[in-house]
Every structure is written in structure tokens, then in C-alpha cells.
Structure 1
């Protein structure tokens, strides 16, 4: 697979992984649609990109998942089609289960799961009509095994794998691809923006995220996985091997995560 002549829609494009995806993909001969809640920031990202005449900005709020049909229609109108949807938008969480308000769990599911699923379902008829389409979903290694203080986040990411594995099966006949990208620690603002027990932002970086992969290196590896149409890609440092340890021994990964004392 090549990115040449493709129309690629990126959610969560205003910062972090989404912004870096825009910067790197803009160097290819493709067209981009950049989405997030913040129009002004998206325009700044667009201005930073190469070939920005081939880039359009379209705001969306994943929490407003009932509006995805309308947003998708607008996205298709911009270039006449969509070839790849990169579901990158979302939020994280850092708080003990016993202290976490149920509204935090609800918000994580609404944004990370329902928003992504609603957008993906809205574009599905377009992919089926074209007998072609590629979903790229930024999950997490926490979608394959769990860690303390991330219960709502882990729950939402695990749910994404269940949904998109089913979608891949149902629409194999329609030549629709699904690539699940599972980052380990990547040095972005995801920890600073993570929700705490009462729904407020954590506001500070943690050591594991600070010492994670540089976002430029991460996105280079992510784009290779997309081009190869991999079903799943685990991209990180030592923490990415936890996926394989979980398959071998759930008890062992439990002990290893406890020892890591990641907060």
C-alpha cells in the first residue's frame, strides 16, 4: 500500500501523535483532512505542513457522537472520497478505581470508544460502496493488558479491539482493512491532559511518558505499519513486550506491571 493519491482523515490532529501524523503525511503526494475540536489550532498545524494546499480542516467533537453522520458527509464532500480514516482522537485517565467518579468512566467511553465507533460506522457505507477503505485505530498496549490507575482508559481501549476485530471480519469481503496501533509510552501531552478522579486534568507529566518514544520516531514506525496493512502493531520500548508476556502468562504480566510501579 502507498499513500500516493490517498485521501486521509486524521482525528485528534491538533497535537501529539495526530499533529505529527499530519506533518509527516503532508510530505507524501496525498490529501489530508485534519480534525479536532479546535479550529484555530488545526489551522496552525495546517500552516506548518508541507503541501498545505492539499489539506482541509474540519472540526469535530468525539464526545458528540450523535453528530458523526453529518460530520462524515462534510468530510467526504471536501475531496470527494475518503480512503483512510485514522482514529487518533481521545483522552486518558490517571486515578485509583475506588476514588474515580463514574462520570469519568462515562466520559472516557463516550470519547475514546463511542465517538470513534460512531465515526467509523458513519463512514462505513462509503467504504462499502467504494469496495475499499482502511481504518487505522490508535489504541494502546493498555488495550491488550492493563495497568493500575488507568481503569477507564484500559476499559475503553479494550472495547475498541473487540469492535474493530468484528468489523474486520464482517467486511473482509468488501476489501476493508483495519490496523490497530498500540503505542507504549510516547512523549506527548497525553499524561498532562489525562483526567483524574473528579474529572479534572492531571496537568503534569509523568516520568514514564516523559521518557517514552519521541513522537517523530513513533509516527515513522506507525506509518510503516499502516503501509504494510498490519492487523496490529505494538510500538514502544520494553512495555510493548507486555503484549506477548500477557499471551504467555497473565500471572506473569500481573507481577511485572506491579513491580514497574508506573503511576
Structure 2
């Protein structure tokens, strides 16, 4: 009899959890069964690319709480990097000024990427455990008003720049391994923060260039996953999510004209979106478990994602619903 009560309580617990599920099933189970989410990042060196606030800021704060050994923070704005650094130093009292490297650079200037990677690796003594790619600018433009120059600039920020950095990191690691450099950072994990539009291939309105760039970003790193799937040296974690960027990002969204012309208006935040804090927690969890791909959003969006990615399953569900009417 007691077993029935226990099973009933467990069932109610699981139903309540499913009702508030904010990620795909694999990550949901890890979140449910992982009491110590900081274990993997303890004493690790992490490089976060795209620190303009929001998710990146929360990721850095979580890593400070998780007692990571060192952080490298990169973005185009030194002011935002300095703010995040001070915030992290307040959280982790064991860190000092030399525990966090501020490495600002422009993702669109690919000629500087080799030097940037070399600087980061030298500072970390060739021992970077995790690189988190979270750079991006959104877009607000009518499809037929978009000029090629805006497409190209949007691709540089949202896909090509981050991909090129990853290529330089892999080349650096291969060169270091070939000459017998000690303490090279293999295995290394790339955590790629993409958009749900890049996973589903169903872009939201007025963001054609952005959505196409995120599809490209996802495809680039899926290719890397495939090529290094058996060597074990590089793990790629792709996180698809849907969160409004910080205010400064939304007001500087690309339009369809020249890339120098920006949107300039605040975008209304949808109340159903997850918070940056929760997103960052799930992103780091996915990275620690080396989940090849995860989706981070409310339950309804997860259902649509499943329907988009598994059409036969979606057709079966719809057919069953129609038959039961």
C-alpha cells in the first residue's frame, strides 16, 4: 500500500515538473538529477565571447559562483566587460584582478582573430577548457528591403566571426600538439549559443538575415561535431534558445539598409521568455554534460521544435487528435 502512495507522489512530482519544463527532455533529466551543477567548472578556465550583458553576464556570474579558476571575457565594448569583471570579483572573493582577462576585439575583423586566440592561449598557458560563443546582433527589417551589405555584416557578427575564432583555436591546438607543447587544452568544449530559429529553420518575421546567419552558425558547428566525433578532443554543445537581448542590443539591431544604420528602438520583451539567469544556468549544465544539442524555452515552444524536427511524429500526433474528435 505504501508503495502505491510513493509511486503516486513521484508521479505528481514528475507531472508538476513536466508542466514547468523549460528545456528539451535530455537536459530536463540532467537538471533534475544533477545536485552539484558546479562540479565540472571548478578550477576550469573559460573564455566567453560576446559579453555585452544579459546571458553572457549571467554565465560569467555563475562561473564566479562555481569557482572557475580563470575567466577570459571578450566583446566589442570595454565598458561592459569592465562592469562584468567587477561584478564577478564581488561574487568570488578568491579571485583577484589577474583572475579575469579582458580581451576586447571586433568579431567582424577576421584578420585580428589569430592574434586574439594566441593572446588568450598564452595568458591561459595553453589551458582553456571551455569556450562559450554568445555573440550576436538581432535584426528588424522587411525581407525585400534588406541590402546585401546588411546581409554580409549580419553574417559576420552572428556566424562567420565565431566560426573563424573556433577554427583558429583548433589550429592552435593542433600546432601545439604537433610540437609537443605541454598542458595543451585538450579536451576542449565549445558551447555555441544559437537561436531557436537556427535550430528549427522557421525564422520569425523581419529577421531574415539574422535567422539565416544562425542557421549557418548551427551548421558550421554541427559539421565540427561530425568531424571530431570520434577523436574525443573537441566536444561541441549547441544551445538553441529564445531570449530578447539586452536593451543596448535591441536598439542596435540590424535593419535592411547599410549595416551602419541601426534599428534604434526598444523591442518589447515577451513575458513568456525565460530569464537570462535561468538560460545561463541551463547552458552551463548542457556544457558540463557535453549534450550535443539542447533546446531552452518554455514547454509550448519545445513542442513546436519537436514537431519541426520530427515531422513523422508531429503528423502522428495531429492524426491521432483528429481521429479522436
Contact kept in structure 2, 1:188 and 1:215, CA below 8 Å: no
Alignment coverage as a number of residue pairs = 252
Contact kept in structure 2, 1:182 and 1:233, CA below 8 Å: yes
1:101 corresponds to 2:147: yes
Match of 1:77 in 2: 122
Range 49-58 or range 219-228, more displaced: 49-58
Match of 2:36 in 1: none
Match of 2:26 in 1: none
Contact kept in structure 2, 1:184 and 1:240, CA below 8 Å: no
Deviation at 1:187, TM superposition (A): 6.0
Separation in 2, partners of 1:103, 1:163: 22
The one of the two structures with greater contact order (alpha-carbon pairs below 8 A, sep at least 6) is: 2
Structure 1 residue runs of 5 or longer lacking an equivalent are 253-263
Q: TM-score, normalised by structure 1?
A: 0.88
Question: CA-to-partner distance for each residue in 1:125-160, whole Å, 9 max, x for gaps?
Answer: 344434311011111101022222111011111111
Contact kept in structure 1, 2:45 and 2:129, CA below 8 Å: yes
Separation in 1, partners of 2:43, 2:106: 27
User: CA 1:166/1:183 → structure 2, altered by over 3 Å: closer, same or farther?
Assistant: same
Match of 1:247 in 2: 309
Structure 2 residue runs of 5 or longer lacking an equivalent are 1-38, 178-183, 315-325
Q: 2:215 aligns with which of 158, 161, 165?
A: 158
Q: 2:193 aligns with which of 134, 138, 145?
A: 138
Q: TM-score, normalised by structure 2?
A: 0.72
Match of 1:33 in 2: 72
Separation in 2, partners of 1:115, 1:225: 23
> SS where residue 179 of structure 1 aligns?
strand
User: CA 1:232/1:74 → structure 2, altered by over 3 Å: closer, same or farther?
Assistant: same
Deviation at 1:185, TM superposition (A): 2.9
Contact kept in structure 1, 2:228 and 2:234, CA below 8 Å: yes
User: CA 1:217/1:83 → structure 2, altered by over 3 Å: closer, same or farther?
Assistant: same
Q: 2:268 aligns with which of 207, 211, 218?
A: 207
Deviation at 1:64, TM superposition (A): 0.8
Question: CA-to-partner distance for each residue in 1:169-225, whole Å, 9 max, x for gaps?
Answer: 212314210001111234633433321222432233333546521111111111111
Structure number, greater radius of gyration: 2
Match of 1:193 in 2: 252
Contact kept in structure 2, 1:62 and 1:115, CA below 8 Å: yes
Range 174-183 or range 201-210, more displaced: 201-210
User: CA 1:185/1:245 → structure 2, altered by over 3 Å: closer, same or farther?
Assistant: farther
Contact kept in structure 2, 1:84 and 1:136, CA below 8 Å: yes
